[in-house]
Amino acid sequence: GAGVSQSPSNKVTEKGKDVELRCDPISGHTALYWYRQSLGQGLEFLIYFQGNSAPDKSGLPSDRFSAERTGGSVSTLTIQRTQQEDSAVYLCASSLSWGSNEQFFGPGTRLTVL
């Protein structure tokens, strides 16, 4: 595609529910990254994929968070039993390969947990 797309753009959910966030990277980009940005905070790295594998999952905030990528393309970030502190903007980015020059960011998903 022309750019990184994410869906939904906004998600409001109740505490305790599960949510799934989707990222479509730029076609041909093998590396995909998830970040979150809480209100007034900097960007927090969550996880990255090279192809379908994630070499380092230590950035995920808790075991309620999981991510997968299939077919080297679309990735989903799943948050189980959401908590209010999960409210943030979740950003996805892709790059041609791990460590390549530039990461292209998607527009983000604003998650609000009531």
Residues that bind another protein (CB under 8 A): 33, 35, 41-45, 48, 55-56, 59, 89, 91, 99, 101-108, 110
CB of 56 to another protein, least distance (A): 4
Give the span between the Cα atoms of 72 and 5, in whole angstroms.
15
Question: Which residues sit opposite 44 in a β-bridge?
Answer: 36
CB of 38 to another protein, least distance (A): 11
Query: Which CB, 72 or 107, lies closer to another protein?
Result: 107
Query: Which CB, 25 or 106, lies closer to another protein?
Result: 106
Query: Which CB, 14 or 41, lies closer to another protein?
Result: 41
Give the span between the Cα atoms of 68 and 4, in whole angstroms.
17
CB of 17 to another protein, least distance (A): 23
Are 6 and 108 contacting, i.e. CB atoms less than 8 angstroms apart? Answer: yes
Query: Which CB, 15 or 112, lies closer to another protein?
Result: 112
Are 98 and 86 contacting, i.e. CB atoms less than 8 angstroms apart? Answer: no
CB of 3 to another protein, least distance (A): 9
Closest CA to 47 of 63, 29, 59: 59
Closest CA to 79 of 19, 33, 15: 19
